[in-house]
Amino acid sequence: MKFNVLTFGCQMNVHDSDWLIRAMESRGWKAVDESEANIFIVNTCSVRDKPEQKVYNILRRLGHLCTSPGDFVAVGGCVAQQIGEGFLEKFPYVRLVFGSDGIAKAPQYLEELAVDHEKRLVVNDFLAQYPEREGGLADPNEELLPPGIGTIPGQAFVNIMQGCDNFCAYCIVPYTRGRQKSRLSSAIIDECRALVKAGIREITLLGQNVNSFGLDKNGSDLSFSQLLYKISEIEGMERIRFTTSHPKDIAPEVVKAFGELPNLCPQLHLPVQSGSDNILKKMGRKYDRARYLGIVERLKEACPDIVLTTDIIVGFPGETDEDFEQTMDIMERVRYESSFSFKYSDRPGVAAVKMNPKVSEEVAQKRLTHLQERQKQITRECLEELTGKDMVVLLERPSKRQEAGGVSWRGKDSGGRVVNIFFEGSDETLQLGGKLIKVKITQSKNHSLVGSKVGDPW
Ligand code: SAH
Ligand code: SF4
Ligand code: F3S
């Protein structure tokens, strides 16, 4: 069967789609461009209204591509969890809807639907345990799935948990991903070990709130810091990252790990959401700016080179100019190297829907533009400070922009910064994906660095 996967949303959705592609390819299906596909899988995101609306537009478009009786659309991810049955009612060519826990069985259902053209299914039940997937290596007889088409050589993501228990007032994720379920640490460690054996050099541990890993197991399994230490010991493990961290749950041992573990990358995404105590309280984030800044200080003490990034929401209900100024102020204090910032968006069923007054679109947009302009400057300044420095880069793929006389490759340093390196005299036959190389930074740009190689890749 020829299939196409379209993905929206966070790293977890990207990873889910990647897994699904590999699982289907291992069953003999072929991932192809949309124009050639018979089966269309849309992995959706519901975090703001815009990505949700996009799903309906895409489904209408895909309807025109379902021309033979065997053609159909499967909708997965957070909008699927949210709308469920509704997709079957509204779109006759949607024949599978699978939510957050349903994805583990999606390959089996896709195969069934490809044979039985009458069948339509919704798989939206939340399960009590973390649903292990094939290739997840909870079963020692299983094998790692081979890398998929979109994967970056040398890098892999490993799920450590599913869901979220925090119910931040603005957020739909606890409803779409369900309650927090940590995966067994032994399955995680086995998967990491197998990935390293297969040549992976950088692993990113994934979860909505990795710092609360294990808390749902009442101490019967490792804590997140213990898990980090265990993974760090795996022979050949060169780089570890994790995302996302909720500031309220970051343990002192995790902060310490940044100073102690040589293979834990000096990079942390620590969503602040707002710099105003008043707004943080309404958001239900359970920390205030003093506590957040204290964590940042200790992180910088433990690891002076740490690269901090964040998420910020502007225009949360009741946000005043003063509240917004506090957010700008926290940006100045922390000096995030980059940030994702969003205008607050009402989501069905979340607590903030009922909070007033709403901030007008115009004011929210003005605040967002102002914040993003300032972030651009800070990013540029942070990158400028790096010129002349030596760093190790994990090479990913040829750069988008190429020049005559050689070939340029893009990779990331341990801080997660994009670095482009020019290999003079080489051409597109050069294969460097997954290799490490030492470089000297020669130039900084708005969002990336340019480096020249010092020594050979390994
Ligand atoms: N688990 C992660 C975030 C997942 S959602 C965490 O707790 O940090 C990713 C980001 O989307 C959030 O950090 C938040 O900044 C943003 N977001 C979530 N709900 C939103 C909403 N209703 N409107 C605007 N932005 C939102
Ligand atoms: Fe959403 Fe808050 Fe959970 Fe993050 S921690 S997923 S923002 S509810
Ligand atoms: Fe979106 Fe679901 Fe991720 S709502 S951000 S895809 S957890």
pLDDT digits (tens, 9 = 90+) for 289-303: 999 999 999 999 999
Instruction: Give residue 369 CA to ligand 3 midpoint distance, Å.
Output: 24
**In this predicted structure, what is the pLDDT of residue 262?**
96
**pLDDT mean over 261-274:** 98
12 lines ligand 1 (CB under 6 A): no
Answer yes or no: is pLDDT of 70 > 60: yes
User: Which bound ligand lies closest to the C-alpha atom of 79?
Assistant: 3
Instruction: Give residue 339 CA to ligand 3 midpoint distance, Å.
Output: 17
| pLDDT confidence band for 127 (50 / 70 / 90) | confident
**In this predicted structure, what is the pLDDT of residue 148?**
64
Instruction: Give residue 24 CA to ligand 3 midpoint distance, Å.
Output: 22
Answer yes or no: is pLDDT of 74 > 60: yes
Answer yes or no: is pLDDT of 121 > 90: yes
For domain 155-384, the CATH superfamily is tm_1862 like domain (3.80.30.20)
229 lines ligand 1 (CB under 6 A): no
| pLDDT confidence band for 399 (50 / 70 / 90) | very high
**In this predicted structure, what is the pLDDT of residue 131?**
85
CATH number (3.30.470.20, 3.50.50.60, 3.10.50.40, 3.40.50.12160) of 2-136 reads 3.40.50.12160
Instruction: Give residue 99 CA to ligand 3 midpoint distance, Å.
Output: 11
- Strand runs (DSSP E) across 264-328, as ranges? 267-269, 307-314
User: Which bound ligand lies closest to the C-alpha atom of 347?
Assistant: 1
**pLDDT mean over 33-39:** 95
From the CA of 273, give the closest atom in ligand 1. 15
**pLDDT mean over 189-215:** 94
Rounded distance, CA 19 to CA 160, Å?
14
Radius of gyration of the chain measured on its C-alpha atoms: 23
| pLDDT confidence band for 150 (50 / 70 / 90) | low
Domain coordinates of the chain in residue numbers?
A: 2-136, 155-384, 390-453
| pLDDT confidence band for 219 (50 / 70 / 90) | confident
Listed residue (343, 339, 373) closest to 270, CA to CA = 339
* Mutational test site, ligand 2, from 12, 171, 206, 216, max ligand atoms within 8 Å of CB: 171
Do residues 426 and 396 touch, judged by C-beta distance below 8 A?
no
**In this predicted structure, what is the pLDDT of residue 220?**
87
Q: 157: left (phi > 0), else alpha (psi -120 to 50), else beta?
A: beta
Name which residue sits closest to atom 1 of ligand 2, judged by CA. 171
Write out the binding residues: 10, 45, 78, 164, 168, 171
CA distances from 297 to 272, 293, 303 (A): 14, 6, 10
User: Which bound ligand lies closest to the C-alpha atom of 100?
Assistant: 3
Encode pLDDT of 325-364 as tens digits: 999 999 999 999 999 999 999 999 999 999 999 999 999 9
Q: What architecture is the 390-453 domain classified under in CATH?
A: Beta Barrel (2.40)
311 lines ligand 1 (CB under 6 A): yes
Name which residue sits closest to atom 1 of ligand 1, judged by CA. 208
